[in-house]
Homo-oligomer: A and B are copies of this chain.
Amino acid sequence: MSVGRLMRQEEDQVGLWLIGACGSVGCTVALGLAALRGGIAETTGLVSMLPSFRAGRLVDPSRIVVGGHEIRPEPLPEAVRHFGRAAGLFDEPLIKSCEVELRRSQKNIREGTIYAARRSILEENGAAGIRRERCAAEAVERIRDDVIQFRKRNRLRSAVVVDVSCSEPRRGNHKANADFSALQRELSRRGSQAVLPSSIYALAAIEAGCPFINFTASTGVRLPAIRQRADALGVPYMGSDGKTGETLVKSALAPMFAARNLEVLSWFGENILGNRDGAVLRDSSVRQSKLRSKDKTLKGILGGSPVTHVGIDFVPSLHDWKVAWDFIHFRGFLGTRMSMQFTWQGCDSILAAPLVIDLARFAELEHRLGRAGPMRHLACFFKDPIDVDQYDLPTQWAMLLRHFGPASSLPASPAARTRRKERQR
């Protein structure tokens, strides 16, 4: 291969910078991309590989280079192995085949910031030894430079930053959050607690000119001041809180009740899980933040006044497996009460990781095409999509399809067609 072609190819690569690179989602993304590159994984679970998006000039997954921030001391390959063993995922041959790639990604991992982080987060992650910056602005600057260096060192065309770290507690709004110059001043103030880490990362990504995706329920990019800055710099962004399991099912099922004019009286949902996210959610302020995001879906789709409940509880033995039970009490013709219930048994990281890759591909394309602001067409990936008040999956799905071409393509059949073809090969 000529040096010229090699360089062009390298320039074709794009970066995926993960906040929380060695967490369970981060591990699965890194391992999954390595496996896809090695041709030993199928594309099942990747929305962006459906035929509807074939013509969309999305970057090939094999051209995505992984890097990120992490506050835990354990390196990526070891984190992958430990997580896999605990959750009963990833057999040894798979990890072995991807080890070289994982070690390469590890070289792109930098120490995250603990500025404004809760003490419990530091303890749980063994991050006590990390140096805390004097002010938030200093943290933003350092994070931004890490991302810029990543892009340069790997000669990447561009990089997308995705926050896959644990959920943060919701916070009362600081007055500086409304305007970027006010925020800038505030962040330079020593010890300021105006923003939480998720917003430090979001701002740093934007300052680095990178699209930013809020995959958690944290505030991140949602502060008006930070959105102003993203608009000023022409950076696209989206969030928040990836729609992977129970909420996904809700957003597919609730429209059915609406379309049949059945009145949902109560929709009671209970989630149990045992991963770090579950452990963090024992903190009731974090749980509130998560639940608010989960609860929007039903209110948004069903309207009226159904009694809704979303519970999350920590059951350590489940590790990364989430079990959700939803009970739906509804009223039909002549006031007759009926019910439906479902149990979802899914693996959180396995469901989240391909969506993170999808979002990186979709965001990179928007950025390449020079578009900025909230990527509303990606609403179907989020529990609480920015600037979108459609929560039902069919409508959100139609928004995504419409963005990529004539509405002729239907939701279901494409998926089927791909799979059929993949099998024939």
Contact = CB atoms under 8 A, between A and B. Distances in A.
Contact of A318 (B259, B263, B266, B318): B266
Interface in A194-211: none
Contacts of A334: 28, 31-32, 35, 41, 45, 89-90, 94, 350
Contact of A263 (B248, B263, B341, B419): B419
Given A261-B46, A332-B350, A343 B345 contact: no
A75 interface: no
Most buried by B among A35, A248, A412: A412
A169 to B, nearest CB: 21
B325 A354 contact: no
B341 A343 contact: yes
A303 B43 CA distance: 17
Interface in A29-63: 31-32, 35, 41-47, 49-50
A268 B345 contact: no
Contact of A309 (B89, B313, B418): B313
Contact of A341 (B342, B393, B417): B342
A185 interface: no
Contacts of A272: 266, 268, 327
A303 B338 contact: no
Contacts of A125: none
Contacts of A234: none
Interface stretch (A101-109, A132-140, A250-258): A250-258
Given A266-B318, A350-B334, A261 B329 contact: no
Given A45-B262, A334-B90, A394-B394, A317 B307 contact: yes
Contacts of A249: 253, 256, 340
A232 interface: no
Contacts of A317: 265-266, 307, 329, 337
Interface string A314-349: 011110000101010101111111111111111100
Nearest to A410: B395
A281 to B, nearest CB: 14
Interface in A83-122: 88-92, 94
A410 B261 CA distance: 13
Interface in A1-52: 28, 31-32, 35, 41-47, 49-50
Nearest to A301: B412
A342 B345 contact: no
A416 to B, nearest CB: 2
A259 to B, nearest CB: 5
Given A266-B317, A325-B325, A336-B89, A47 B261 contact: yes
Contacts of A253: 249, 252-253
A394 B28 contact: no
A164 to B, nearest CB: 14
Contact of A423 (B254, B304, B313): B304
A44 B259 contact: no
A338 B327 contact: no
A384 interface: no
Contacts of A31: 334
Nearest to A93: B92
26 contacts: A41-B333, A42-B335, A44-B331, A44-B332, A45-B260, A88-B88, A90-B334, A248-B256, A256-B393, A259-B411, A259-B412, A261-B415, A268-B315, A270-B311, A301-B413, A303-B412, A303-B413, A303-B419, A309-B313, A315-B329, A325-B327, A332-B354, A333-B351, A334-B350, A392-B411, A395-B412
Given A258-B413, A398-B398, 10 more contacts: A89-B336, A91-B92, A266-B272, A301-B413, A303-B419, A315-B329, A332-B354, A336-B350, A338-B350, A394-B397
What are the 7 A-B residue pairs with the smallest beta carbon separation, nearest first? A303-B416, A394-B394, A45-B333, A258-B415, A265-B317, A342-B342, A252-B256
